Amino acid sequence: MTDEIIFERHGGLGMVRLNRPKALNTLSLGMYRRFAPQLVAWGDDPAVHAIAVVGEGGRAFCAGGDVRAIYDARNKLGSESADFFREEYSLIAHVHRFPKPYIALMDGIVMGGGAGISINGSHRVATEKTLFAMPEVQIGLFPDVGATRFLNRCPGRIGLYLALTGRRLGAADALYCSLATHYVPSDRLPALLDALAAAEWRAPDAGAQVDAALARFASAAGAAELGNLRGEIDRVFSAPSVEAIVAALETEKADWAKEARTAIARASPLSLKITFRQLQIGKGISVPAALALEYRLTQHILAGHDFFEGIRAVLVDKDNAPHWQPASLVAVTAEDVDAYFAALGPREPSFA
Protein backbone atom coordinates (compact mmCIF):
# COMPACT_ATOMS: atom_id res chain seq x y z
CA MET A 1 0.00 0.00 0.00
CA THR A 2 1.36 3.42 -0.96
CA ASP A 3 1.94 5.86 1.89
CA GLU A 4 -0.54 8.73 1.75
CA ILE A 5 2.01 11.07 3.29
CA ILE A 6 5.79 10.75 3.07
CA PHE A 7 8.38 12.37 5.34
CA GLU A 8 11.98 12.80 4.22
CA ARG A 9 15.12 14.59 5.32
CA HIS A 10 17.45 16.31 2.89
CA GLY A 11 20.24 17.95 4.83
CA GLY A 12 18.61 20.40 7.19
CA LEU A 13 15.37 20.43 5.19
CA GLY A 14 12.41 18.32 6.27
CA MET A 15 10.20 17.32 3.35
CA VAL A 16 6.48 16.48 3.52
CA ARG A 17 5.02 14.88 0.41
CA LEU A 18 1.24 14.63 0.15
CA ASN A 19 0.86 11.44 -1.83
CA ARG A 20 -2.76 10.95 -2.91
CA PRO A 21 -2.48 12.31 -6.46
CA LYS A 22 -5.56 10.48 -7.77
CA ALA A 23 -7.58 12.18 -5.00
CA LEU A 24 -5.88 15.55 -5.65
CA ASN A 25 -3.94 15.04 -2.41
CA THR A 26 -6.99 15.50 -0.21
CA LEU A 27 -6.14 15.01 3.45
CA SER A 28 -7.45 11.96 5.29
CA LEU A 29 -7.78 11.58 9.03
CA GLY A 30 -4.81 9.21 8.95
CA MET A 31 -2.69 11.87 7.27
CA TYR A 32 -3.54 14.40 9.97
CA ARG A 33 -2.58 11.87 12.63
CA ARG A 34 0.87 11.38 11.09
CA PHE A 35 1.56 14.97 10.01
CA ALA A 36 0.97 16.70 13.36
CA PRO A 37 3.42 14.63 15.47
CA GLN A 38 6.04 14.88 12.72
CA LEU A 39 5.76 18.66 12.85
CA VAL A 40 6.28 18.58 16.60
CA ALA A 41 9.31 16.31 16.24
CA TRP A 42 10.91 18.45 13.55
CA GLY A 43 10.16 21.60 15.50
CA ASP A 44 12.19 20.17 18.39
CA ASP A 45 14.98 18.69 16.24
CA PRO A 46 18.00 21.04 16.04
CA ALA A 47 19.16 19.29 12.86
CA VAL A 48 16.02 20.41 11.01
CA HIS A 49 16.10 24.09 10.08
CA ALA A 50 13.12 24.38 7.73
CA ILE A 51 10.45 22.21 6.15
CA ALA A 52 8.83 22.15 2.73
CA VAL A 53 5.41 20.71 1.90
CA VAL A 54 4.64 19.55 -1.64
CA GLY A 55 1.80 17.75 -3.39
CA GLU A 56 2.55 14.80 -5.66
CA GLY A 57 1.13 14.28 -9.13
CA GLY A 58 1.46 17.69 -10.75
CA ARG A 59 -2.24 18.68 -10.54
CA ALA A 60 -2.81 19.70 -6.94
CA PHE A 61 -0.98 20.84 -3.87
CA CYS A 62 -4.01 19.76 -1.85
CA ALA A 63 -7.66 20.03 -2.81
CA GLY A 64 -8.88 19.97 0.79
CA GLY A 65 -9.90 17.57 3.51
CA ASP A 66 -11.50 14.28 2.56
CA VAL A 67 -15.08 15.32 3.26
CA ARG A 68 -16.38 12.32 1.33
CA ALA A 69 -15.04 10.19 4.20
CA ILE A 70 -17.11 12.27 6.63
CA TYR A 71 -20.18 11.63 4.49
CA ASP A 72 -19.51 7.90 4.44
CA ALA A 73 -19.11 7.85 8.24
CA ARG A 74 -22.23 9.89 8.98
CA ASN A 75 -24.33 6.96 10.16
CA LYS A 76 -21.59 5.11 12.05
CA LEU A 77 -21.33 5.04 15.81
CA GLY A 78 -18.55 7.04 17.41
CA SER A 79 -17.08 10.44 16.79
CA GLU A 80 -15.08 9.99 13.57
CA SER A 81 -16.56 13.10 11.97
CA ALA A 82 -15.87 15.22 15.05
CA ASP A 83 -12.37 13.72 15.23
CA PHE A 84 -11.75 14.70 11.62
CA PHE A 85 -12.32 18.40 12.20
CA ARG A 86 -10.64 18.45 15.62
CA GLU A 87 -7.49 16.78 14.33
CA GLU A 88 -7.49 18.83 11.12
CA TYR A 89 -7.64 22.03 13.14
CA SER A 90 -5.05 20.74 15.62
CA LEU A 91 -2.66 20.18 12.70
CA ILE A 92 -3.31 23.70 11.43
CA ALA A 93 -2.54 25.08 14.89
CA HIS A 94 0.80 23.20 14.75
CA VAL A 95 1.48 24.69 11.31
CA HIS A 96 0.81 28.18 12.64
CA ARG A 97 3.04 27.63 15.69
CA PHE A 98 5.86 25.86 13.84
CA PRO A 99 9.02 27.59 15.11
CA LYS A 100 11.01 27.33 11.87
CA PRO A 101 10.41 28.29 8.24
CA TYR A 102 7.45 26.36 6.83
CA ILE A 103 7.42 26.48 3.03
CA ALA A 104 4.28 25.34 1.20
CA LEU A 105 4.73 24.90 -2.55
CA MET A 106 1.20 25.76 -3.72
CA ASP A 107 1.66 24.24 -7.17
CA GLY A 108 -1.77 23.38 -8.57
CA ILE A 109 -5.12 23.24 -6.78
CA VAL A 110 -5.24 24.71 -3.26
CA MET A 111 -8.64 24.46 -1.61
CA GLY A 112 -10.09 23.97 1.87
CA GLY A 113 -7.69 21.96 4.01
CA GLY A 114 -4.95 22.61 1.47
CA ALA A 115 -5.30 26.30 2.27
CA GLY A 116 -5.18 25.44 5.96
CA ILE A 117 -1.80 23.70 5.74
CA SER A 118 -0.31 26.39 3.52
CA ILE A 119 -1.67 29.83 4.34
CA ASN A 120 -1.17 29.36 8.08
CA GLY A 121 2.56 28.74 7.51
CA SER A 122 5.34 31.27 7.11
CA HIS A 123 6.17 30.93 3.38
CA ARG A 124 3.58 30.22 0.65
CA VAL A 125 4.92 29.81 -2.87
CA ALA A 126 2.50 30.19 -5.77
CA THR A 127 3.22 29.09 -9.34
CA GLU A 128 1.56 29.59 -12.72
CA LYS A 129 -0.50 26.47 -11.91
CA THR A 130 -1.85 27.75 -8.59
CA LEU A 131 -5.64 27.65 -8.36
CA PHE A 132 -6.85 28.81 -4.96
CA ALA A 133 -10.47 28.76 -3.77
CA MET A 134 -12.58 28.36 -0.65
CA PRO A 135 -15.84 27.01 -2.15
CA GLU A 136 -17.32 25.56 1.04
CA VAL A 137 -20.66 27.36 0.81
CA GLN A 138 -21.32 25.25 -2.29
CA ILE A 139 -21.38 22.09 -0.13
CA GLY A 140 -23.29 23.46 2.83
CA LEU A 141 -20.22 24.25 4.93
CA PHE A 142 -18.36 27.55 5.48
CA PRO A 143 -14.75 28.66 4.86
CA ASP A 144 -12.82 27.05 7.70
CA VAL A 145 -9.19 25.95 8.38
CA GLY A 146 -8.40 29.42 9.76
CA ALA A 147 -10.24 31.32 7.00
CA THR A 148 -12.06 33.34 9.66
CA ARG A 149 -8.69 35.03 10.05
CA PHE A 150 -6.95 34.79 6.69
CA LEU A 151 -9.90 35.90 4.56
CA ASN A 152 -10.37 38.87 6.87
CA ARG A 153 -6.77 39.84 6.12
CA CYS A 154 -7.49 40.26 2.40
CA PRO A 155 -7.76 43.85 1.13
CA GLY A 156 -11.05 45.61 1.75
CA ARG A 157 -14.11 43.36 1.37
CA ILE A 158 -12.41 40.89 -0.95
CA GLY A 159 -12.27 38.19 1.73
CA LEU A 160 -16.04 38.24 2.12
CA TYR A 161 -16.42 38.20 -1.66
CA LEU A 162 -14.20 35.10 -1.90
CA ALA A 163 -16.05 33.43 0.97
CA LEU A 164 -19.54 33.92 -0.47
CA THR A 165 -18.68 33.12 -4.09
CA GLY A 166 -15.82 30.60 -3.90
CA ARG A 167 -14.07 32.49 -6.71
CA ARG A 168 -10.93 30.82 -7.98
CA LEU A 169 -7.68 32.78 -7.88
CA GLY A 170 -4.42 32.44 -9.73
CA ALA A 171 -0.99 33.38 -8.43
CA ALA A 172 -1.17 37.14 -8.95
CA ASP A 173 -4.46 37.46 -7.08
CA ALA A 174 -3.26 35.09 -4.33
CA LEU A 175 -0.26 37.37 -3.82
CA TYR A 176 -2.48 40.46 -3.84
CA CYS A 177 -4.60 38.90 -1.09
CA SER A 178 -1.53 37.87 0.96
CA LEU A 179 -2.57 34.23 0.57
CA ALA A 180 0.79 33.60 -1.12
CA THR A 181 4.11 35.22 -0.24
CA HIS A 182 6.18 34.43 -3.37
CA TYR A 183 5.81 33.47 -7.01
CA VAL A 184 8.17 30.87 -8.45
CA PRO A 185 7.59 29.22 -11.86
CA SER A 186 6.85 25.53 -11.38
CA ASP A 187 9.83 24.40 -13.45
CA ARG A 188 12.10 26.15 -10.93
CA LEU A 189 10.70 24.39 -7.87
CA PRO A 190 13.06 21.37 -8.05
CA ALA A 191 16.07 23.71 -8.12
CA LEU A 192 14.63 25.69 -5.20
CA LEU A 193 14.26 22.50 -3.16
CA ASP A 194 17.78 21.42 -4.11
CA ALA A 195 19.12 24.79 -2.96
CA LEU A 196 17.31 24.49 0.37
CA ALA A 197 18.50 20.91 0.84
CA ALA A 198 22.10 21.93 0.15
CA ALA A 199 22.04 25.00 2.39
CA GLU A 200 24.59 25.38 5.16
CA TRP A 201 22.13 26.44 7.79
CA ARG A 202 23.11 29.01 10.37
CA ALA A 203 20.92 29.15 13.46
CA PRO A 204 19.08 31.39 14.20
CA ASP A 205 19.15 32.77 10.65
CA ALA A 206 17.10 30.07 8.91
CA GLY A 207 14.28 32.47 8.10
CA ALA A 208 16.62 34.93 6.41
CA GLN A 209 18.26 32.08 4.49
CA VAL A 210 14.91 30.86 3.21
CA ASP A 211 13.97 34.41 2.23
CA ALA A 212 17.25 34.75 0.31
CA ALA A 213 16.77 31.43 -1.48
CA LEU A 214 13.22 32.33 -2.48
CA ALA A 215 14.39 35.72 -3.71
CA ARG A 216 16.86 33.99 -6.05
CA PHE A 217 14.16 31.87 -7.66
CA ALA A 218 11.14 34.19 -7.48
CA SER A 219 9.83 36.32 -10.30
CA ALA A 220 6.89 38.64 -10.98
CA ALA A 221 3.47 37.02 -11.19
CA GLY A 222 1.85 39.74 -13.30
CA ALA A 223 -1.05 42.05 -12.52
CA ALA A 224 -3.77 41.07 -10.04
CA GLU A 225 -7.26 41.33 -11.52
CA LEU A 226 -8.74 41.82 -8.05
CA GLY A 227 -6.69 44.98 -7.62
CA ASN A 228 -8.63 46.57 -10.47
CA LEU A 229 -11.96 45.29 -9.12
CA ARG A 230 -11.46 46.17 -5.49
CA GLY A 231 -13.44 49.41 -5.57
CA GLU A 232 -16.47 47.70 -7.08
CA ILE A 233 -16.18 44.67 -4.79
CA ASP A 234 -15.82 46.86 -1.71
CA ARG A 235 -18.90 48.85 -2.63
CA VAL A 236 -21.10 45.79 -3.19
CA PHE A 237 -19.81 43.61 -0.36
CA SER A 238 -20.01 46.40 2.21
CA ALA A 239 -23.78 45.90 2.19
CA PRO A 240 -25.18 44.98 5.63
CA SER A 241 -26.57 41.51 4.81
CA VAL A 242 -26.32 38.73 2.26
CA GLU A 243 -29.69 39.77 0.82
CA ALA A 244 -28.42 43.33 0.43
CA ILE A 245 -25.27 42.07 -1.29
CA VAL A 246 -27.39 40.07 -3.75
CA ALA A 247 -29.54 43.14 -4.40
CA ALA A 248 -26.44 45.25 -4.99
CA LEU A 249 -25.06 42.65 -7.40
CA GLU A 250 -28.29 42.85 -9.39
CA THR A 251 -27.46 46.46 -10.24
CA GLU A 252 -23.95 45.65 -11.47
CA LYS A 253 -23.47 44.84 -15.16
CA ALA A 254 -19.84 43.66 -15.11
CA ASP A 255 -18.93 40.02 -15.68
CA TRP A 256 -17.48 39.59 -12.20
CA ALA A 257 -20.83 40.56 -10.67
CA LYS A 258 -22.80 38.21 -12.94
CA GLU A 259 -20.47 35.37 -11.96
CA ALA A 260 -20.83 36.28 -8.28
CA ARG A 261 -24.64 36.25 -8.53
CA THR A 262 -24.57 32.82 -10.17
CA ALA A 263 -22.23 31.40 -7.54
CA ILE A 264 -24.26 32.77 -4.63
CA ALA A 265 -27.48 31.43 -6.16
CA ARG A 266 -25.99 27.90 -6.17
CA ALA A 267 -24.80 28.02 -2.56
CA SER A 268 -26.57 26.92 0.60
CA PRO A 269 -28.56 29.92 1.88
CA LEU A 270 -27.84 28.86 5.47
CA SER A 271 -24.10 28.57 4.75
CA LEU A 272 -24.07 32.01 3.17
CA LYS A 273 -25.58 33.59 6.26
CA ILE A 274 -23.34 31.64 8.64
CA THR A 275 -20.32 32.74 6.62
CA PHE A 276 -21.39 36.37 6.61
CA ARG A 277 -21.72 36.31 10.41
CA GLN A 278 -18.46 34.35 10.79
CA LEU A 279 -16.41 36.96 8.95
CA GLN A 280 -18.15 39.83 10.71
CA ILE A 281 -17.15 38.58 14.15
CA GLY A 282 -13.75 37.28 13.03
CA LYS A 283 -12.06 40.59 12.29
CA GLY A 284 -8.73 40.73 14.12
CA ILE A 285 -9.14 37.20 15.45
CA SER A 286 -6.14 34.99 16.26
CA VAL A 287 -5.52 31.63 14.60
CA PRO A 288 -6.39 29.60 17.76
CA ALA A 289 -9.57 31.61 18.29
CA ALA A 290 -10.52 31.24 14.62
CA LEU A 291 -10.08 27.47 14.80
CA ALA A 292 -12.10 27.24 18.01
CA LEU A 293 -14.95 29.22 16.43
CA GLU A 294 -14.82 27.10 13.29
CA TYR A 295 -14.83 23.85 15.26
CA ARG A 296 -17.95 25.02 17.10
CA LEU A 297 -19.62 25.72 13.75
CA THR A 298 -18.64 22.33 12.33
CA GLN A 299 -20.26 20.47 15.21
CA HIS A 300 -23.57 22.20 14.62
CA ILE A 301 -23.17 21.71 10.86
CA LEU A 302 -22.67 17.95 11.37
CA ALA A 303 -26.00 17.81 13.20
CA GLY A 304 -27.78 19.55 10.34
CA HIS A 305 -28.87 18.84 6.78
CA ASP A 306 -27.08 21.00 4.24
CA PHE A 307 -23.49 19.75 4.63
CA PHE A 308 -24.36 16.14 3.88
CA GLU A 309 -26.76 17.18 1.14
CA GLY A 310 -24.04 19.31 -0.45
CA ILE A 311 -21.53 16.46 -0.42
CA ARG A 312 -24.16 14.14 -1.88
CA ALA A 313 -24.89 16.53 -4.72
CA VAL A 314 -21.28 17.40 -5.56
CA LEU A 315 -19.23 14.32 -4.64
CA VAL A 316 -21.54 11.30 -4.33
CA ASP A 317 -24.40 11.43 -6.83
CA LYS A 318 -22.74 14.33 -8.67
CA ASP A 319 -26.06 15.68 -9.87
CA ASN A 320 -25.13 19.20 -8.71
CA ALA A 321 -28.73 19.67 -7.62
CA PRO A 322 -28.71 20.04 -3.83
CA HIS A 323 -31.97 20.51 -1.97
CA TRP A 324 -31.06 23.10 0.63
CA GLN A 325 -32.99 23.51 3.88
CA PRO A 326 -34.03 26.31 4.16
CA ALA A 327 -34.25 26.78 0.41
CA SER A 328 -33.94 30.59 0.27
CA LEU A 329 -32.10 33.40 2.00
CA VAL A 330 -35.32 34.98 3.23
CA ALA A 331 -36.25 31.72 4.96
CA VAL A 332 -33.04 31.69 7.04
CA THR A 333 -33.74 33.62 10.24
CA ALA A 334 -31.31 35.30 12.60
CA GLU A 335 -32.29 32.69 15.18
CA ASP A 336 -31.32 29.91 12.74
CA VAL A 337 -27.87 31.44 12.39
CA ASP A 338 -27.51 32.07 16.13
CA ALA A 339 -27.92 28.36 16.80
CA TYR A 340 -24.76 27.55 14.83
CA PHE A 341 -22.68 29.88 17.00
CA ALA A 342 -23.94 28.42 20.29
CA ALA A 343 -21.20 27.25 22.67
CA LEU A 344 -20.51 23.52 22.92
CA GLY A 345 -19.96 23.45 26.68
CA PRO A 346 -17.51 20.72 27.71
CA ARG A 347 -16.92 19.82 24.06
CA GLU A 348 -15.32 23.21 23.36
CA PRO A 349 -11.72 22.56 22.27
CA SER A 350 -8.63 24.72 22.68
CA PHE A 351 -6.16 25.12 19.83
CA ALA A 352 -3.83 27.44 21.73
φ/ψ (deg, to 5) at 183:
-120, 125
Rounded-to-integer distance, Cα 12 and Cα 174, Å: 29
**Which residue among the candidates 64, 113, 121, 310 is catalytic per the annotation?**
113
| Residues facing residue 274 across a β-bridge | none
- Tell me how far apart the alpha carbons of residues 57 and 150 are, in angstroms, rounded to a whole number: 27
- The DSSP code for 152 is T
Neighbours of 316 (CB within 10 A): 13
Cα distance between residue 272 and residue 270, in whole Å? 5
- DSSP 8-state secondary structure symbol assigned to residue 28: P
Residues 6+ apart with CB under 8 A from 64: 26, 27, 111, 112, 113, 114
**β-strand partners of 60:** 109
How far is residue 162's CA from residue 153's CA, in Å, rounded to a whole number? 12
Is residue 138 within 8 A of residue 321, CB to CB? The reply is no
Among this protein's residues, is 282 annotated catalytic? no
Active-site entry in 144, 173, 294, 306:
144
CA distance 175 to 182: 7
Of the residues 14, 65, 159, 282, which is catalytic?
Answer: 65
Determine which one of 66, 136, 173, 306 is catalytic. 136
Residue 350: DSSP 8-state: -
65 is catalytic: yes
Which residues are the active-site residues?
65, 113, 136, 144
